[in-house]
Structure 1
Amino acid sequence: MPKWLFITLLIAAPIILGGSTGNGFVMLLAIAMVLIANPFIWKVRKNRYFNSEQFKSLRAQVASVVAEHNDVVNYVAEIRDQGAFELGASSTGQYAHLANFKNTSAWNNRRDRNVAEYAPHVHNASLQVVRNASMEPIKYLMKYFEIKANEETLADVQRVAEDISRLEEAVGNVQRREAEIVAMIKPPAFILKRYADEFWSLVGVHLSPITVPYPNYKFQYTSAGGNSGQTVDITLDTPTLDALSETLVQKIRWAKSAAGQRALMTARLRAWIKERDRHTCQNPSCGISVAAEPHLLLEVDHIVPVAKGGLSEPENLQTLCWRCNRAKGAKMPA
């Protein structure tokens, strides 16, 4: 039942019944009846809605939208499984697992509130290094996590950036499609609040548990006594990876190599290519656009793959829908 009605009954029923009988037991019984009836009423309303002809009709109307959504969800899983989301690692504590640490301080003198963390993506450092990392994250990320300024590293950074960018767009596309399905069916608010899983299941939507696994790097300072600590977290999202790529390009001398050309692929360039191509798939046998399908997932493709000598220049870049890009892969143009 609606929240306002539930609260009204919860207050009014005991007062009316208890007041008329003067019996405290009756008052408690009235409260119990309201509490027991509430979930039963929700279930009755839910079953009535899901069995209604209106819901069945709307479910049939969105069937094609749901099918496309589920295809994109499968594509998201492919990107996640095939992608690379790792870069450098810190060497501090790399052999910590070989030692057995134990705090032997007297009980009153123990300071275990801040204990150093040892992991590949965590660098334990002085307080000054941690503060410097907050001011110059790219510089200190490269210095302390073994991210060398060479073409091999540049290729790795661009590979991670491209995988993350594709996954970001695909996950966002799935979320927009789900919002569209909800807008088309317009279920009562209580359905999405209390029975969301059942709603999506009956509609036929395959929900994706996948999120973007941004690599996260941490600079950590822990005082000797464990009383204080400070950390700086650097998340390798698209803006950070673009900044890292630009920094690497400035630090290394590069020619028209695969690694160097990858440095040109940034979020800004991808957006420009899509705008140039009018957000339309450039495959002649397809040609679908966001004008025809507002939630179309578009990707930027190298016509001649970088691995086969293609450059990241506008004339070698094209917009493809996700289906055409998946079908093309790293193939050479016909």
Structure 2
Amino acid sequence: MQFILLILVVCLAIALLATIWPLFVFLALIVVAYKIYEVVYFNGKKFLSIKEKIQAHIDDCNDLNQHIEDLKSTSLVVNRTDYGEAEYHDASRWNVKREALKNQKYAPYIYDCSRTVCDNARRQPFKYVCKYFGIKADEPTLERFEAALNDFSAVEDGKVSLKKEREQIMTSIDADVPFLIKKFSGKKLEAKLGFDEVDFSTLYFPKYEFKYVSAGGNTSTKYDVVMDIDNLNRFVTFLSEKIKFKKSAAGQRALMTSGLRQYIKERDHFTCRYCGASISKEPNLLLEIDHIVPVSKGGLTTEDNLQT
């Protein structure tokens, strides 16, 4: 009986394939034809002329993209001692081996701790980051975190400018690009034009990680303190309050928050007070905020002593 059913199923499958195989052939021919059309278009004079016309703008975009990627490489402070590394061997019986313990390795931004420390780090992350990652509340540390905040703020501003610039370039050639290419080969079109691949994610933000793994390896918990723009702003304020030097040079620099920077840029109409360069003229321009009277000479971080 089963053999007969098998024969029937095979016969039905053959009949079905005999009915629909022309459709598969037709679809395959369409795909092949489009691929040929795609190759011909991207190697044609019309596309090459479009690419040549906007090459300077694409180069500007790629330069900005590279600058953004360079800023992302900013590293944060960590002063943990490296005690070396030992090789792990587990001679336990097979049913009590714990892979989580085997995979534990030294990493400067990961602290393997007790469950209590892990829970406390969740409630007071900044305090425990300072305590267990060797971050001292002093002027050099504050300056490094402020520098990281400046770089990451510039990255986020640059990403907005870059996205806008790319959209403007693609809009400028929209009428010259065939509909099929825009519809089915959008990513390839950007690559063929010469755009570098852009990462608009926020995964570059560094983090301090507190991780607990039980003795047997069955239970694990971790808390990540991600130093994004908001957390960096708050951490700079935390350090400033902790070391209590609001009137010192480093304390004045700590008052330069991203919100204050944005306010000064808007007040100055996004125009450099020194050279007159403006975002309206140079969309990819990354503006900085300076003290008119330098902090080193007693200048304060106040609105009337700041300029773009």
> If the length of structure 1 is used for normalisation, what is the TM-score?
0.72
Q: Which moved more, 1:173-182 or 1:238-247?
A: 173-182
Q: Which runs of 5+ in 1 are unaligned?
A: 1-21, 320-334
Q: Compared with structure 1, are the counterparts of its residues 177 and 127 closer, same or farther at alpha carbon in structure 2 (3 Å cutoff)?
A: same
Contact (CA 8 Å) 2:264, 2:289: kept in 1 or not?
A: no
Q: Compared with structure 1, are the counterparts of its residues 304 and 74 closer, same or farther at alpha carbon in structure 2 (3 Å cutoff)?
A: farther
The C-alpha deviation readout for 1:14-73, integer Å capped at 9, x for no partner, is xxxxxxxx9777557535524642431331342465467875675466445334323423
Q: Confirm whether residue 228 of structure 1 aligns to residue 215 of structure 2.
A: no
The answer for the alignment partner of 2:11 in structure 1 is none
Using CA pairs under 8 Å that are at least 6 residues apart, name the structure with larger relative contact order, 1 or 2: 2
Q: Distance in 1 between matches of 2:186 and 2:296?
A: 47
Give matches, 1:146-295, under 5 Å.
146-186=134-174, 191=181, 195=185, 198-208=188-198, 213-254=204-245, 256-284=247-275, 286-290=276-280, 292=281, 295=283
Q: Distance in 2 between matches of 1:76 and 1:307?
A: 28
**How much identity, in percent, do the aligned residues show?**
30
CA drift at 1:157? 1.4
Contact (CA 8 Å) 1:169, 1:297: kept in 2 or not?
A: no
Q: Distance in 1 between matches of 2:130 and 2:296?
A: 29
Aligned-CA RMSD value:
3.5
Q: Distance in 1 between matches of 2:27 and 2:214?
A: 53
Which of these residues, 114, 119, 128, is aligned with residue 140 of structure 1?
Answer: 128
Q: Distance in 2 between matches of 1:148 and 1:103?
A: 38
- Number of residue pairs aligned between Structure 1 and Structure 2: 291
Contact (CA 8 Å) 1:273, 1:300: kept in 2 or not?
A: no
| Letter in structure 2 aligned against 1:84 | T
The C-alpha deviation readout for 1:144-201, integer Å capped at 9, x for no partner, is 1111122222112112211222223223322332233233333568646864564234
Q: Which runs of 5+ in 2 are unaligned?
A: 1-13
CA drift at 1:227? 0.7
> Is the partner of 1:298 in helix, strand or coil?
coil
The C-alpha deviation readout for 1:270-301, integer Å capped at 9, x for no partner, is 111111112223334x34343x56x4433223
Q: Which moved more, 1:195-204 or 1:275-284?
A: 195-204
The C-alpha deviation readout for 1:183-236, integer Å capped at 9, x for no partner, is 333356864686456423442434456976322110001011111101101111
> If the length of structure 2 is used for normalisation, what is the TM-score?
0.77
Q: Which moved more, 1:103-112 or 1:43-52?
A: 43-52
The answer for the alignment partner of 1:73 in structure 2 is 65
Q: Distance in 2 between matches of 1:24 and 1:215?
A: 56
| Letter in structure 2 aligned against 1:102 | H
> Is the partner of 1:300 in helix, strand or coil?
coil
Contact (CA 8 Å) 1:117, 1:124: kept in 2 or not?
A: no
CA drift at 1:248? 0.9
The answer for the alignment partner of 1:105 in structure 2 is 92
